[in-house]
Amino acid sequence: MSDPEDCVSLSLLPWIDFKADDFKSFLNGGIKKSYYKNSAIVAQGEKMDSIFYLHQGKVKVLLLTEKGEEKLFWYASEGNIIGDVPFFHLYPSNAAIIAETDCEVYSYDRKTFLGILHANPEFADYMLSIMAKKIRVLINQVQDISFNNPTKRISKLLYLLTQQFGEKSDTGGTEINLSITHKEIASITCVHRVTATNVLSILKNEGIISKSDSGNIIVVDSARLFKYAFD
């Protein structure tokens, strides 16, 4: 079996955090726009003639079904370029970009943004890197959906969250310092919300996880969680 560090290096969480801080020098070339929490920055099916720099806030990229079901692909925080996939593939977007918080973005039309890339090759390298990470996240999700049962998927997600957001808990174990709901866990791992709740209940009853006073998940038995996730 690979050690935990190897498993973490091979499995990426859906949090895109490739900040393009140097892009702030080009803000005057974009059009500033503001979006309230839960509003659509990009609608599913919309054809993209612009790309966005997320100056403030957090967004999520997800697929919506006619029944109102969601499949979350990833989150992106401020400092990231968003809307890049539909911008470059020139087809209507097959996902929606939703403001997770109030957001401020700068919009760039095709001519302006491509001009910036041509004049600044380092940003072209950045775009390739962020595209590669998104592809790897998607491949990881397809692998989980295709080959892993819900318990394994959720255990894997929780274990990886401890690596990125974990803090030592005063009551023992590792607290995942991230507000994440059962619905979000279900969406990330592509299981029904009831299934996610059932799996979390099993892990709690077995003493593998617990809840903090603030409602965050605490991983009490990291070794057993790792076994569920990767064995």
pLDDT band at 9 (very low <50, low <70, confident <90, very high): very low
* H or E segment and range at residue 5: helix 4-10
- Whether 7 has a pLDDT exceeding 60, the answer reads no
The pLDDT tens digits of the residues spanning 131-179 come to 888 888 888 889 889 999 999 999 999 999 998 888 998 888 899 998 8
Whole-prediction pTM: 0.83
The CATH number of domain 10-144, selected from 3.40.50.1370, 2.60.40.650, 2.60.120.10, 3.40.190.10: 2.60.120.10
- Architecture of the domain spanning 149-230: Orthogonal Bundle (1.10)
The full set of domain ranges for the chain reads 10-144, 149-230
Q: What is the pLDDT of residue 12?
A: 64
- Give the rounded percent of residues in the chain with a pLDDT score beyond 90: 62
The pLDDT tens digits of the residues spanning 67-87 come to 778 888 999 999 999 999 999
- Whether 1 has a pLDDT exceeding 60, the answer reads no
What's the DSSP call for residue 210?
E
Q: What is the mean pLDDT of the chain?
A: 89
DSSP letters for 71-136: EEEEEEETT-EESHHHHHH-SPPSSEEEESS-EEEEEEEHHHHHHHHHH-HHHHHHHHHHHHHHHH
Domains 10-144 and 149-230 are alike in CATH topology: no
Q: What is the pLDDT of residue 170?
A: 81
